[in-house]
Structure 1
Amino acid sequence: MTDMLTLKDAMAAAADKVETELDRLLAVHEAPEQQLIAAMRHGSLNGGKRFRPFLLLESAKLFSVSPSSALRAAAAIELVHCYSLIHDDLPAMDDDDLRRGLPTVHKQFDDATAILAGDALLTLAFEVLSHPDTHANARIRCDLVHALARASGGHGMVGGQMIDLRAQDQELDIHAITRLQRLKTGRLIEFSCRAGAILGNAQEKASEALRGYAQDLGLCFQIADDLLDVEGREAETGKAVGKDAGAGKATFVSIMGVERARDQARMLADQAVDHLAIFDEKADFLREVARFVVDRRS
């Protein structure tokens, strides 16, 4: 492991870098739209694991991508993730009051401001990716924009959210739940892992290895999330727990039970690690993070 840095230290360092970049991108200026910027900052700058940016930064290291390019792409994926959380918390969606231990954006401001803040974060992400500072090669910038658009849209995260909303009124089996989560959670994780390969103009074999890793990691991440909703504490997670069961929603845990779900998460983590066999020790943190996901408490 590089310089004996622990995974916890590496994730914290990456989170700090992303926080600084987001703060720069969301600089406050005296303007009539100042409340919008304040809401965007409230929804983006209040900590969090910065899990997706970490995956992107680590995948970029596999191909010796410029740290500044990788950081801008990492900030872009976090902007999309934060937009999705702001909209997910709205009364029309999950109706949550807390996010990362703080009032959600619609509680701190109002529903309309929260909608606009999410919209603005989403569009800012594509502004960041399409800027020459992200990469000098216009084709690579276009590939990044295209990949993130597909991961975020109707056949990606947003499509998964639509299925999730309908899940409260339907009986979903394990195959339907798996598809839901591959879209809602998995596609952004997949983009985060493959973006490093895009930035590094990597060969198809390397890109496919990261795709396989990300697909298993994404499902593992969601199963761990479902377990936290059953077993977690609000003080640790920073958000309400027990909501899925209260809403009668089918999850991996409700279908498989706690122990089978945990075993499945561990199996997926092992499979994810196996996909990284073609990479050297530069992928060690990616290997470690697959196991970290299973045991996380927030």
Structure 2
Amino acid sequence: MALATTPRAVEPLVPMASFPLESPLAPCGRRAGRSSAGVMAQDICSSPGAGDLPAPALSVTPIAAQEGEEVYFWCQIVWKSPDTRIVFCKDGVEVHSLKARQGKGTYSMFFPMMSRSTGTYTCGYQHKDKSNQVRNSALSAPRILSFRGDLPAPDLFITPIAAQEGEEVLFQCQIAWKSPDTRIIFCKDGVEVSSLKAQQQKGSYSMLFPMTSGSTGTYTCGYQHKDKSNRVRNSALSAPQNLSVTAMKPQGLQTFSPHLVIGLVTIFLLLLAAATYCFVRKGSSKFRATRLKGLRTMKCTTPPSPTLDVKGLVCKS
């Protein structure tokens, strides 16, 4: 690994023994409920939003490694006081710290990847002011470190990728390694949430999860195989899939089927056509009745033909 030849700026970080895992290698990265709070963690690592100084930026390379490989951490801070202490946290517990140097903003370290190294890492810093009061920074954005398996990655499918609370979501993990000793694992945000025992020659494994408000997250799946020497081998994790919770529909709002909508539209058009026909027919009949009445009136009021007054004509001639 190229990073292994890079000179160490500080001593390597050896993960503390207070992070036991149930299996030698955890493909998800970490297990829920396994971290314990340390004394110094109460100040900064266990209170990510309590700091009043700007958060630093943490980078981890690589984000997945095999046991024995080295992982490079560096924490970039803005507050460059010489009294600053840089703190590295794992799962909410302080695991290493460095003394800051005047004008230095980037602090790095190496540590060898071990079975207990998987987890969520953050970094922060502390500053002691003139009144000897310690001020904490906010913690950096978390970075998940996981094992890189040597077996092929499976494929994960989620249906649907967005659902309301109470609905069920189908998870399907398809693997190529069909050993009967394989354990299939489902992970959420780097934490194992469920597992299945593999079956002989079975390549697809499914689970139904009820959707809750806490179901939103990034999911992966992987598997483990125990060889003849009783050594556990991990697969690489599947490509991540995101699942989100959708808002509940308002009460009384119903979804109509396309056939029902088409039927309602057809009925409406038929009623509209009938109403239009009746209106036109009524208007035409009224127009004919008015015309006939006018003709009768003209016929009744026509004056009689004038008579010739012969006497008058003779007198006026």
Higher relative contact order (CA 8 A, sep 6+): 1
Q: TM-score range by the shorter chain?
A: under 0.3
Task: Calculate the TM-score normalised by the size of structure 1.
Answer: 0.23
Task: Calculate the TM-score normalised by the size of structure 2.
Answer: 0.22
The structure whose residues are more often strand, as a share, is 2
